[in-house]
Structure 1
Amino acid sequence: MSLTLNSRRILLLAVCATVCFFAGCKSAPPPVAAAPQAMPVKVASVTLSPVANSDTYVATIKSRRSATMQPQVDGNITRIDVKSGDTVKAGQLLMQIDPLKQFATVQQQQGTEAQKKAVYQYNQGEVERQRKLYEAGVTSKQAYDQAVQAYQNSKGDFDSSVAQTNTQRQQLAYYQIRAPFAGVVGDIPVHLGDYVSASTMLTTVDENADLEAYVYVPTERASEVKLGLPVDILDNDGTAIVNSKISFLSPQVDNGLQSILVKAEIPRTAQRLRNQQLVKARITWNTNPKPVIPVLAVSLVGGQTFVFIAEPKGDGYVAHQIPITVGETVNNTYPVLSGLKPGDKVILSGLQFLQEGAPVKPLG
């Protein structure tokens, strides 16, 4: 009896199922994923280098020779021969106060001196004449003594008049305001015609040759501050522009600031500094060996500094991120205060592609 078409199909499926069952038919296993390749990175070993222990303070530059010009006489200003910022020589005329009244006083005193001199010269001759008459027996001793007395009185009167004339001439010099030394003229708050007195500030003259940095050190450093400690004057970028040292140490504490005044001399070659200029002064207390790393190795995340190091693992290395504490930069390096030890391999390149535990291949 012949099989129908459907029966043949069912029989074929049954045979295939039986063959697959006995042959252990199953799907092919998935391919094994290749291990990630190590990323080549440049590394630098952490080394010990001398690192300065220092603090930076705000300092004021002051001139050893700085004069505030105030008049010694009253009057109206008739001349101003300089302007702010001018460089002047010692003795150069800066301004003048109206001297006409003083000129008149001097001339009057000179006239009085001339009168006194005439009386003195007459009495001088009279003494000599009376002496000869007395020696010839023509006049009495009393007449001669009176002539001597008149001569001495007139001499004292004349000497006093000469002294007064000199005083008035010296007073006349006060009407001319001259530079006490070579320097730079400061602000001039007065104008032509202004009436000035002894309390009026006319201007200032500052010498920029002999400068000092005034630094106030907190009393917490009292046991460490001493003469000779290095002091560096810094610019806005933190670069040292002047190297000096502590040349003066105040023996007492400033009560208002609770700090100790120290001074550092500024060399004459430091032309960038000016009197009353505010600067940063870095005082170095001591120098100790500390681990240092290149600035390029450090990353800042959320206010915390991190580095990646190449950490040995198995037959190779993996990237491991470590939080560290660093000090102020020194020559493009950071001193490491905590987190690393000498010999650690700090990763310098490819930091933006690194992840924790990623395999790396140290170079250099």
Structure 2
Amino acid sequence: MVSPEPHDPSDLGQPATADRQIDDFAVPRDPSPRKGRPWLTALSIVILLLGLGLGWRWWQSRNAAAPGGAGPGAAQAQAAPVELETVETSTISESSEFVGTLISRRSVDLRPEIDGRITEILVQPGEAVEVGQPLVLLSPDQRAAEYASVLAAVNSARATRASSASELQALQAERVAAVAEVDLQNENFRRTSQLVQEGALAQDQLDQVERDRRSAIATLNATDQRIQASRANLVESQAALEQAQANAAASNAQLQDTVIEAPFAGTIGDIPAKIGDFVNAGDIVTSVTQDQSLELEISIPLERGPDLRTGQRVELINAQGNPLTVGR
């Protein structure tokens, strides 16, 4: 057996080198395709089993939560009920809210007409009162003394007037007698004059009758003057009596002013004063408001002015949002 001798590549031609290269690279080593893949297969099986388990648990929990048990109708039982209605056209009213103030057109502050000290308060704030009802009393001591004084003046003037009237009546009676005396003396003078002319009587008797006649006339004239003076005194005493009566009426009115009364029916407001306070004429003691009929004043922005209409509906609500009344 002869072993082949090794050939030097240099002894061979170029084709030999090419064939060698082909032998080296044309048949490379091919590793086995199954080497290193069993672990990937096992991992896929584990993931698949895990997914099946989770899916089974989810399906069981869903069926347990559905009422009526599982089945095709269970999913339908969970649907929400729906009501169908027919759409209709209607008018939508636009409204706005504004803050308003209720006011009374008849409200008055009560002030005393005189100075005085409050002795009694007969009402409470918020109380309903009637017309003429006494509300506050002031001390009447000083006014009562003044009234007693003017009453005394009235009585004195009345007595003076009565005296003047009596004097006038007496003088008028005297005048009647004086007139009668004058008439008598005139008649005596006429007869005596005739007798003297006839010579039946002396002249000195006529002179005496003349003196008596003149005396009677003088007495009548004096009586007339006294009557005139008495009439003047009567007029003066009558004027004094009327003035005294006027003073008494004013004093009585001031005495009545110690009682502050309600001028009309309404509700009492705040009473800032208290018993014992001294108030001057014109100080506010309390107020009375007629709340049977109130007016609502609303401040509306200027830009909303064109939206206002005569007879527009207005609903009044209180601070809690509860409706009170509706007006236009």
TM range (shorter): 0.5 to 0.7
1:179 is the counterpart of 2:220: no
Equivalent position of 1:133 in the other structure: 174
Amino acid at match of 1:234: I
Once the 2 structures are TM-superposed, how far is the Cα of residue 226 of structure 1 from its aligned partner? 5.3
Distance 2:126 2:90 in 1: 47
Q: Which runs of 5+ in 1 are unaligned?
A: 1-35, 246-364
Compute the displacement of 1:130 (Å). 1.8
2:301 to 210, 215, 218: 218
Output the CA distance in 2 between the equivalents of 1:85 and 1:225.
Answer: 36
Q: Partners in 1 of 2:89 and 2:280 — Cα distance?
A: 66
Residue in 2 aligned with 1:74? Answer: 115
Q: Which one of 183, 198, 205 corresponds to residue 281 of structure 2?
A: 198
3-state SS, counterpart of residue 77 of structure 1: strand
Identity %: 28
Residue 229 (structure 1) aligned with residue 325 (structure 2)? no
- Aligned pair in 2 of structure 1 residues 205, 40: CA closer, same or farther (>3 Å)? same
SS in structure 2 at match of 1:55: coil
State the 1:47 CA deviation.
Answer: 3.1
Larger radius of gyration: 2
Q: Which residue of 1 aligns with 2:30?
A: none
Partner of 2:290: 207
Match for residue 124 of structure 2? 83
In the TM superposition, 1:283-362 aligns within 5 A as none
Unaligned runs of 5+ in 2: 1-74, 179-218
Equivalent position of 2:6 in the other structure: none
How far off its partner does 1:111 sit? 0.4
2:147 aligned residue: 106
Please give the TM-score of this superposition, normalised by the length of structure 2: 0.58
Q: Is the 8 A contact 1:87 1:185 kept in 2?
A: yes
Which is further off, 108-117 or 146-155?
A: 146-155
- Could you tell me whether the CA contact under 8 Å between 1:130 and 1:139 is conserved in 2? no
C-alpha distance in 2 between matches for 1:227 and 1:241:
21
1:164 match: 247
Partner in structure 1 of residue 100 of structure 2: 59
Structure 1 length-normalised TM:
0.52
Residue 120 in structure 1 maps to residue 120 in structure 2: no
Could you tell me whether the CA contact under 8 Å between 1:75 and 1:195 is conserved in 2? yes
Query: Deviation of residue 77 (structure 1)?
Result: 0.8
In the TM superposition, residue 126 of structure 1 has moved relative to its aligned partner by 1.7
Q: Which residue number corresponds to residue 133 of structure 2?
A: 92
CA distance in 2, matches of 1:191, 1:58: 35
Distance in 1 between residues matched to 2:149 and 2:310, nearest whole Å: 60
Report the 3-state secondary structure (helix = DSSP H, G, I; strand = E; otherwise coil) of the residue aligned with 2:126: coil
CA distance in 2: counterparts of 1:78 and 1:39, whole angstroms: 78
Kept in 2: contact 1:86–1:184 (CA 8 A):
yes
Aligned equivalent of 2:231, options 148, 160, 166:
148
Deviation at 1:186, TM superposition (A): 2.3
**Deviation digits for residues 110-158 of structure 1 (CA, Å, limit 9, x no counterpart):** 0011111111111112222222322432442222211111111111111
One-letter amino acid of the structure 2 residue matched with residue 54 of structure 1: S
Q: CA deviation at 1:57?
A: 1.5
CA distance in 1, matches of 2:287, 2:145: 30
Alignment root-mean-square deviation, CA: 2.6
1:69–1:203 contact (8 Å) kept in structure 2: yes
Which amino acid in the other structure matches residue 96 of structure 1?
L
Aligned with 1:181: secondary structure? Answer: coil
Q: Deviations over 1:174-199 (max 9, x none)?
A: 11112222232222221111111134
1:65–1:210 contact (8 Å) kept in structure 2: no
> Aligned pair count?
211
- Counterpart CA distance in 2 for 1:47 and 1:95 is 66
The alignment partner of 1:106 has SS state of helix
Higher strand proportion (structure 1 or 2)? 1
In the alignment, the residues of structure 2 paired with residue 236 and residue 193 of structure 1 have an alpha-carbon distance, to the nearest angstrom, of: 39
